[in-house]
A and B are shown apart, each in its own frame.
Chain A
């Protein structure tokens, strides 16, 4: 029988990095910036968290202080992804460079940055450990409520996660609310739909773009941190994060730029990623085909929305285009 109680928590764990990435990307896309650097940003976020907590664990003698063990990786992760966000916004908003080119360069750089420090951190700091295994720190990240274990299947499905999972869901819900119901969200969407009109209405286009890109990157960076600290139990291995960054971008399309849908979308994508473990099949190779499903589904959604042309399902109108006031 299909073991749903075992399946759902694993799907959620797979889905959460995607949810962070997707929420971040949605915010920046809503402001008209197609940030293809998100996979790189997630790597940078992950490795910055690792560097922070590695240095802390090395420096700390005796047991770790729970607050610092969480605060240091979080802060360094946010810092690293913020810097990546600033890089993207300086190049695309202020210097008006092409977003796709900058994004791809950032992905090259970010993935390289992650793998480089992941592979060389120990050598560079002269540490005496064979590999980066931050299980101490990871324990704080993946700690769940004690009550979850006594609640049977309910606890397992809803309460068995570390705090970052709930943070991801909270961020997604707040983002959806802000985008849809508040004035800031309305103005942000106006910038993404038609910056010239927004500018004429007195909205500071560049300020909105900068904020959206930077906040988006910081949220996406947390996805990398979640992956290392919670999902991978603090073990960094190069390229293990894989193509999840691109999957997050796919998820943005799949959920039609709606972060509240993304919560379920992320779990569905996460489920598709591990579905092969739960289906009886003698053939190892088939699992690779299952992993193709999220992308195929995304392509179908992409085609379907473009054929149907429903206004509310379309990408932001000026997605990917630079804005220059004097350029009419």
Chain B
């Protein structure tokens, strides 16, 4: 062939592990760049100057005591989902079914609250709801896990489809339970008796929910870092072959981990119905099943980093919400801001893992 191979201008190699400090510098740099882009977008849409953009955002997220507690409640919810999905991811099992697993937990809770609300004393009912929610969430996650373990069925697509089966199932029951008939809404469940509701601390039970999630966070940290299960999960994640050579039963680990993952998702659903919303809708999970995946992934499965990643996303969401209410814009503004931040952080991982060499004119190998 007469074609002369041109040497490419840029040459990419994989980096050895960067020191911790540098990786965080890159990430923080990306976040700052993303915030600047967000500020510009907001300026273009609202005509605010950048300082008042961030001023409004901070006010929206933390401005009053009530806003602050809502921020932490939202943080707890998102973090809980991210924690639930983490063990599965660490095993390289793409559990995109968080949305459905949460919803099944919520469904089980609502079911128990509606049918047993006036028959069983309050405290016992809460426990029954909790157990039912955990079981339902776990089953919903176990179905794809079973097929993955047995026949290597593609779990990404399977878990994704399970979300919509759950959504339609809940939609069906919402119509059965709707109050008043024809409204398409369940309304507040047990509004007068408050049966099955988590006890209030102050004017709501958000603080209780936050405490629960703090416990799960600590538990998950220990589970992944110090337990035998956590070790097995990371071995299976690195290489299934290695795992089976050293005598780990891969199918068992997959199913067990997904049971745990689904159970925590179910638990989150229980908190949403019993502790926060006291009702059920098909959009209850509100995309947290997907956002949780991104939180978990952005934090590189590090439980502590996950707290900050969820804080960032929730903070921006609440802040952008404030801007959109102030300017009469659609509340989906928050999704756009979240999207921009995510793209930047996802993109910056490249510069952590790879090094770009610019080739010198002479064409000689450099670096």
Question: A residues touching B (Cβ–Cβ < 8 Å)?
Answer: 34, 36, 87, 90-91, 94-98, 100-102, 104-120, 123-124, 238, 243, 246-247, 249-250, 253, 284-286, 288-289, 291-292, 295-296, 298-299, 302-303, 306-307, 315, 320, 324, 326-327
- Judging by beta carbons under 8 Å apart, are A123 and B329 in contact? yes
- Judging by beta carbons under 8 Å apart, are A250 and B96 in contact? no
Known: A97-B350, A295-B164. A315 touches B338 (CB 8 A): no
- Judging by beta carbons under 8 Å apart, are B350 and A98 in contact? no
- Judging by beta carbons under 8 Å apart, are B330 and A118 in contact? yes
B25 CB-CB contact with A under 8 Å = no
The prevalent SS among residues of A at the interface is: helix
Chain A residues, CB < 8 A from B331: 119
Q: Smallest CB–CB gap between B166 and chain A, Å?
A: 9
* Known A95-B350, A117-B330, A238-B332; 6 more pairs at CB < 8 Å: A101-B294, A109-B339, A113-B336, A285-B172, A288-B175, A306-B151
Known: A115-B335, A119-B332, A243-B164. A285 touches B175 (CB 8 A): yes
- Judging by beta carbons under 8 Å apart, are B350 and A303 in contact? no
Complex CA–CA separation, A315 to B153 (angstroms): 10
Interface 9-residue window, one of B53-61, B75-83, B341-349: B341-349
User: Nearest chain-A residue to B343 (Cβ)?
Assistant: A105
Q: How many A-B residue pairs have CB under 8 A?
A: 167
- Judging by beta carbons under 8 Å apart, are B152 and A306 in contact? yes
Complex CA–CA separation, A306 to B146 (angstroms): 13
Chain B residues, CB < 8 A from A118: 330
Chain A residues, CB < 8 A from B346: 91, 95, 97-98, 101-102, 105
The 7 closest A-B pairs by CB, nearest first: A112-B335, A109-B339, A119-B330, A285-B175, A292-B168, A115-B332, A95-B350
Q: Which of B122-152 contact A (CB under 8 A)?
A: 147, 151-152
Q: Smallest CB–CB gap between A127 and chain B, Å?
A: 14
Chain B residues, CB < 8 A from A249: 157, 160
User: Nearest chain-B residue to A247 (Cβ)?
Assistant: B164
- Judging by beta carbons under 8 Å apart, are B164 and A292 in contact? yes
User: Nearest chain-A residue to B354 (Cβ)?
Assistant: A96
Q: Smallest CB–CB gap between A113 and chain B, Å?
A: 6
- Judging by beta carbons under 8 Å apart, are A100 and B162 in contact? no
Of the residues A34, A101, A115, A124, contact of B293 by C-beta under 8 Å: A101
Of the residues B164, B330, B342, contact of A116 by C-beta under 8 Å: B330
Of the residues B154, B165, B349, contact of A97 by C-beta under 8 Å: B349
- Judging by beta carbons under 8 Å apart, are A302 and B338 in contact? no
Q: Smallest CB–CB gap between B324 and chain A, Å?
A: 8
Complex CA–CA separation, A285 to B178 (angstroms): 10
Complex CA–CA separation, A155 to B84 (angstroms): 54
Chain A residues, CB < 8 A from B210: none
- Judging by beta carbons under 8 Å apart, are A253 and B175 in contact? no
User: Nearest chain-B residue to A253 (Cβ)?
Assistant: B157
The prevalent SS among residues of B at the interface is: helix
Chain B residues, CB < 8 A from A247: 164
Of the residues A91, A111, A250, A296, contact of B332 by C-beta under 8 Å: A111
Q: Smallest CB–CB gap between A186 and chain B, Å?
A: 21
B102 CB-CB contact with A under 8 Å = no
Of the residues B160, B163, B164, B338, contact of A108 by C-beta under 8 Å: B338
B43 CB-CB contact with A under 8 Å = no
Chain B residues, CB < 8 A from A292: 164-165, 168-169, 172
**Counting chain A CB atoms within 10 Å of each CB, which of B167, B172, B293 scores highest?**
B172
Chain B residues, CB < 8 A from A123: 328-329
**Counting chain B CB atoms within 10 Å of each CB, which of A117, A243, A285 scores highest?**
A285
B333 CB-CB contact with A under 8 Å = yes
Chain A residues, CB < 8 A from B158: 299, 302-303
Known: A104-B96, A116-B336, A295-B164. A98 touches B297 (CB 8 A): yes
Chain B residues, CB < 8 A from A243: 164, 167
- Judging by beta carbons under 8 Å apart, are A124 and B45 in contact? yes
Chain A residues, CB < 8 A from B350: 94-97
User: Nearest chain-B residue to A97 (Cβ)?
Assistant: B346
User: Nearest chain-A residue to B282 (Cβ)?
Assistant: A288
- Judging by beta carbons under 8 Å apart, are B161 and A289 in contact? no
Q: Smallest CB–CB gap between B254 and chain A, Å?
A: 14
